[in-house]
Chains A and B, each alone.
Chain A
């Protein structure tokens, strides 16, 4: 059974903290994605990666960075968390860019 696993379901962090959201996939997929989901706005792409050590900005990269040191792992980093980054974060992977995507269970992050 294919799997995308996010390290936490719920996180509460303080303003200014550095936050790491981890995502691991076991399907040997080339492409991995980080989205945030907010009411009324749907899913918006933050960053994606099409290979190890490769990354591209999505639609809303400001305030975020990513790391992909190994094929199976894609990390989202909030350098200095702010309250407007309170959101649901979803990781996804796919074998090729336009193929079926597999999603993690989501991390609900609250920044206080």
Chain B
């Protein structure tokens, strides 16, 4: 079993829909990261959080440390949101990130 599990693996939505991507992890962490990867490969960090909730524009990330679960929400989705969204955790011990397999989001106009 992977230490970081994301769901769903693939998600197709219509423009304007509210989107949720989930991430569960099984290790002790110091922080959880949400990353975005557009076609072509470059990865951008969206959020790093260790508790509660963060918001940036139409993106909201939440984390529940007790349940070892995080969600990434996109409000009023747009075709330009189409990308792979990756959850990663910084372990409480050690210096490396552990990644989920990613969620491919496609938003159709």
Per-position 1/0 for A26-49, Cβ under 8 A of B: 000001010001001111110010
CA distance A110 to B41 in the complex (A): 15
Distance (whole angstroms) from the CB of B77 to the closest CB of chain A: 23
Distance (whole angstroms) from the CB of A82 to the closest CB of chain B: 22
**Hey, which chain A residues are within 8 Å of B44, CB to CB?**
103
Total contacting residues, chain A, CB less than 8 A: 27
Q: Which of B10-64 contact A (CB under 8 A)?
A: 30-31, 33, 35, 40-45, 48
**Hey, which chain B residues are within 8 Å of A31, CB to CB?**
95
Please tell me if the beta carbons of B45 and A50 are within 8 angstroms of each other in the complex.
no
Tell which of B31, B41, B97 touches A106, judged by Cβ atoms closer than 8 Å. Answer: B41
- Indicate if B86 sits at the interface (CB-CB under 8 A): yes
**Hey, which chain A residues are within 8 Å of B33, CB to CB?**
100-101
Please tell me if the beta carbons of A97 and B90 are within 8 angstroms of each other in the complex.
yes
Number of A-B contacts (CB under 8 A): 57
- Indicate if B1 sits at the interface (CB-CB under 8 A): no
Q: B residues bordering A, Cβ < 8 Å?
A: 30-31, 33, 35, 40-45, 48, 86, 88, 90, 94-97, 99-102
**Hey, which chain A residues are within 8 Å of B90, CB to CB?**
97-98
Distance (whole angstroms) from the CB of A108 to the closest CB of chain B: 7
Tell which of B31, B43, B95, B102 touches A103, judged by Cβ atoms closer than 8 Å. Answer: B43
Given that A48-B96, A58-B96 are contacting pairs, would A101 and B45 also be in contact in the complex, using a CB cutoff of 8 Å? yes
Report, nearest first, the 6 A-B pairs whose CB atoms are least far apart.
Answer: A106-B41, A97-B95, A98-B90, A103-B43, A105-B42, A42-B101
